[in-house]
Amino acid sequence: MALWKPDPTFYPSPRDAAGAPPEKLAYVAAFDRAAEKPDAIAVLDVDPESATYGEVTGWTDMPYTGDELHHFGWNACSSALCPYAPHPHVERRHLIVPGLRSSRIYVLDTKADAASPKVVKVIEPEELAARSGYSRPHTVHCGPEGLYVTALGGADGAEGPGGIALLDHTSFDVLGQWEVDRGPQFFAYDAWWHIAHDVLVSSEWGTPSMIEDGVVADLLLGRRYGHALHFWDLRKRKHVQTVDLGDEHQMSLELRPAHDPRKQYGFAGVVVNVEDLSASVWLWHRDGEEWAATKVITIPAEVPDDPVRLPPVIEPFGAVPPLVTDIDLSVDDQWLYVSCWGTGELKRYDVSDPFHPVEAGSVRIGGIVDRTPHPAAPDVPLAGGPQMVEVSRDGRRVYVTNSLYGAWDDQFYPDGVGAWMAKLDATPESFTFDERFFPHGDAFRGLRVHQTRLQGGDASSDSYCYP
């Protein structure tokens, strides 16, 4: 049912959104690596005034097993206010939750009980394949023509090309393949846009066979994983330009465009440079009429005192790669958070000048060698590292979880990655753990935790048409 007033979680501009009230619930994708129990969306109480603050207070089990829930998104967001096709009286109430391994997509309704969403629709992999030609759905964004769902693989066993499937805003039916002309693009991973400039950006990981059984060393050292960014005409659905970062920069994953619709730049994280195991963050920007990308952050590998403890996958190198697997940009475009999942560090940069990020804080937790504990449980060494990172709309709270992707967790943390979530309090001056917030171990029922979405929206959920 349409509303009489716009959904209160829609904001015309990022400036307005930064004044949004604090979230009270967080939704976290949780999956069973053994594929024996159903995956679930865990609901966390993130209201500091609540007696159950920092606890998992709700679970929504999926009806099947083996989905590997990963990323997910909202059915509607602030882009509904965009002037060319306004529909602001829809509700932000459904979570669109793809299974990265099963290619199934669930639709959850959070309206009746926000702390216990209900599964209201299941899109079977056959429908996704038949209508869009894709499998392995990944990122979900609410956009002008429908819901944009990136997918890593092709249909019916085809490795690729991966791309974007469009879902109807209201019925959630798969409308079809988004691309009209994909040019040379084959690999897919993330996609987002400069909505006010009719520009879509996409990134590259690998095809299903390159990732589903773990990272393949030969392919990695052979520089065969994705290493480019693609720029598209969002309106005409046409590929415009490929920007190759260089084939040593393997796996260009998360894309975080500036929220201010006047700006045309954004940040892309690269997992590893195979020449020196460093990780990097790139800035894409206009260069005249063309697009260009400039490396603005390099994070070197760390050489441990005792290389014996390295897992087989990196033992030959004698060093720990930082493995930048997620980044997130605050809604005011000032702070960039960078997850170093290998070394167990979460870095913060002041990116007021996007070409010259200035490191402005760092915390250590987990890590392949360090196993740094959380300050709330200093005796518990932690596996995994800061991975999916999400920032509240006001930029004051930062949430991280520790699993990357089932098969890859097992390679880099072979003795078990565990499950934990942490929260950091961020002010311009400080960046520290909230010691009251550390759900871990049995709190997640043995499931691994991946992306977090915050009630009402967060720094990577909404796009804005007004500056």
Partner 1 sequence: MNDGSLAALVALGAFHGLNPGMGWLFAVARGLQERSRGLLLRSLPAIALGHALSVGVVAVLVAVTRSVVATRAVAIGGGVLLVGFGLWRLLSKRHFRWAGMRISLWQLTWWSFLMSSVHGAGLMLLPVLASGGAAPAGHDHGLTAGAGSALSAGIFVTGVHTLAMLAVAGVIAILVYEVVGLAILRTAWFNLDRVWAVALVGAGAATLLTA
Summarize as ranges the residues that interact with partner 1 (CB under 8 A). Answer: 2-6, 8, 10-13, 16, 81-90, 143-146, 169-170, 195-198, 234-235, 261-262, 465-467
* Range list of H helices, 158-269: 208-211, 217-221
Least distance to partner 1, CB of residue 117, Å: 21
- What is the maximal distance between C-alpha atoms in the chain? 64
Least distance to partner 1, CB of residue 143, Å: 8
Integer Cα distance of 287 and 83 in angstroms: 28
Least distance to partner 1, CB of residue 156, Å: 29
Cis link prior to 161 (omega < 30° from 0)? yes
Least distance to partner 1, CB of residue 197, Å: 6
Least distance to partner 1, CB of residue 361, Å: 31
Kindly tell me which of 175 and 219 has the beta carbon lying closer to partner 1: 175
Nearest to 92 by CA among 465, 455, 466: 455
Kindly tell me which of 3 and 130 has the beta carbon lying closer to partner 1: 3
Kindly tell me which of 9 and 403 has the beta carbon lying closer to partner 1: 9
Label residue 184 exposed, middle or buried (CB < 10 Å: 0-12, 13-18, 19+).
Answer: exposed
Kindly tell me which of 87 and 295 has the beta carbon lying closer to partner 1: 87
Least distance to partner 1, CB of residue 96, Å: 17
Kindly tell me which of 1 and 308 has the beta carbon lying closer to partner 1: 1
Integer Cα distance of 89 and 4 in angstroms: 6
Kindly tell me which of 72 and 193 has the beta carbon lying closer to partner 1: 193
Which residues on adjacent β-strands are paired with residue 347? 338, 362
Least distance to partner 1, CB of residue 146, Å: 8
The rounded Cα 416 to chain-centroid distance in angstroms is 22
Say if CB 350 and CB 331 are below 8 A apart: no
> How many other C-beta atoms lie within 10 A of the C-beta of residue 310?
18
> How many other C-beta atoms lie within 10 A of the C-beta of residue 159?
16
Least distance to partner 1, CB of residue 333, Å: 16
Least distance to partner 1, CB of residue 88, Å: 6
Kindly tell me which of 76 and 314 has the beta carbon lying closer to partner 1: 76
Label residue 336 exposed, middle or buried (CB < 10 Å: 0-12, 13-18, 19+).
Answer: buried
Least distance to partner 1, CB of residue 195, Å: 7
* DSSP calls for 383-432: -S-S-SEEE-TTS-EEEEE----HHHHHHHSTT----BEEEEEE-SS-EE
Kindly tell me which of 13 and 57 has the beta carbon lying closer to partner 1: 13
Kindly tell me which of 141 and 347 has the beta carbon lying closer to partner 1: 141
Which residues on adjacent β-strands are paired with residue 105? 98, 123
Kindly tell me which of 12 and 125 has the beta carbon lying closer to partner 1: 12
* Burial letters 117-142, b for 16+ CB under 10 A, else e: bebeeebebeebbebbbbbbbbbbbb
Which residue matches tokens 């260069």? 287
Residues recorded for the chain: 467
Between the alpha carbon of residue 351 and those of residues 95, 141, 295, 457, the distances in Å are: 30, 24, 13, 22
Nearest to 446 by CA among 34, 52, 25: 34
Least distance to partner 1, CB of residue 208, Å: 29
Nearest to 413 by CA among 371, 368, 448: 368
Least distance to partner 1, CB of residue 4, Å: 5
Sign of CA dihedral 85, 86, 92, 93: negative
Kindly tell me which of 193 and 405 has the beta carbon lying closer to partner 1: 193
Kindly tell me which of 146 and 357 has the beta carbon lying closer to partner 1: 146
Between the alpha carbon of residue 32 and those of residues 13, 122, 419, 448, the distances in Å are: 38, 19, 11, 6
Torsion angles phi and psi, residue 425, rounded to 5: -95, 130
